[in-house]
Structure 1
Amino acid sequence: MTSLLQPGYAPFIMAIGIMIAVGVLEGLTLLFGFSVTGHAGNFIEHHFEIDHTGAGAETGVVAQFLGWLHIGRVPFLILLVLFLTGFAVTGLLLQSIMQALFHFMLPPWLAACLALPLSLLFVRKMGKPIGRLVPQEESSALSEIDFIGRAVRIVTGQASQGNPAEARFVDEFGQAHYVRIEPDDAGQVFVRGQTVLIVARVSGSLFRAIKSPRHDG
């Protein structure tokens, strides 16, 4: 056991600690009916405009890479656990082999760099089949088209046409969604705290909205 405390193992023992901490945090938040990892996964999916529909929407390199890792298709908690597990196991095995064969360990940063791509490949290969075994939350069935007609509140920035701001709404399943909003009318400006009504989808997580007739300002 004391051998695991050697500096060469540090990044991988830390990954195990993070995994335990995430599990505890997820369990605590679920007691209040809220999934912190579900929220994080939803935010990442919409922030980077990850599109799994195959509709031909243009996406950036980061979005394509995150989509390759099944983010937005498989529960984020599963992907995070797979990554941390793959990283920890790969790194511990690598350093153990180096110690057994050559009687020294790689510097922690170098071992971590070597373990990282293998752990990402592990997420890619294992994420989809494992994700199929875990029931998806009902709210995951909500598509971007279903966002049209919903009232959302501007949470960051000031929105004008061509300069979207981030908005948030909570669906009927209690799941929070984050979208980018710009006015449908070129002459309008939406400010933080204002509630607006989504009327059209532009692309990815970008939507057009009008002033909500149910709310002032």
Structure 2
Amino acid sequence: MGGPLPRTSSVPAADWPAGPPRPAPSGGEAIGPLEGRDWPIWRLWDSLRPRHVAAAQATLLLSFLWMPALLPVASRLLLLPRALLSMASGSPPLPSPASGSGYVPGSVSAAFVTCPNEKVAKEIARAVVEKRLAACVNLIPQITSILCSPSFSDLFSYEWKGKIEEDSEVLMMIKTQSSLVPALTEFVRSVHPYEVAEVIALPVEQGNPPYLHWVRQVTESVSDSGTAPSSA
């Protein structure tokens, strides 16, 4: 083989990491880490060892440089199991209030009531607004309702033997505070001509913050009193 390989590091040999003991060339005791350097295989080891040290130092430096960039990704990965758990349970995550709006999702509701005609709908709408049970009521005329009309015997059995009916009605869309829905329902039941009045309320999760604030402001006095107004 050729002559000794050139050194790639200026570090004195005494400061290099100790390698494994060299076997003796022809029996006898093993040669120490710094002996037997004239063997070609150990000369190759000594020439490559500083390169491994430099590569390890470069890898360590890069890890410190990339750590700040990887922190946001790591934080998102930590939240991933919670999101997957919400999806698996079928329950959507709770909405957070819009930034700077001050509106609490669900604190305002939209209630829907059907009436037999426009005259009855207007009377009920005016009454709930005057009593501050609602801030606003929209009337949608000429809707078509298709429903089952139960017979008297249906009320005492598990079989539904009523006939299918089709009627023209007026739909009321009422905006109010969610805390006033029970009082609103009780009032509608007391003045509605139907024996079983339809009152369905859905919480409002998002919307125009000034409008939602206005709905709460108009109905605030009734909400604070904690008493349902009379039907008179």
For this structure pair, what is the TM-score category when the shorter chain's length is used for normalisation? under 0.3
Structure with the bigger percentage of helix: 1
Q: Report the TM-score when normalising by structure 2.
A: 0.19
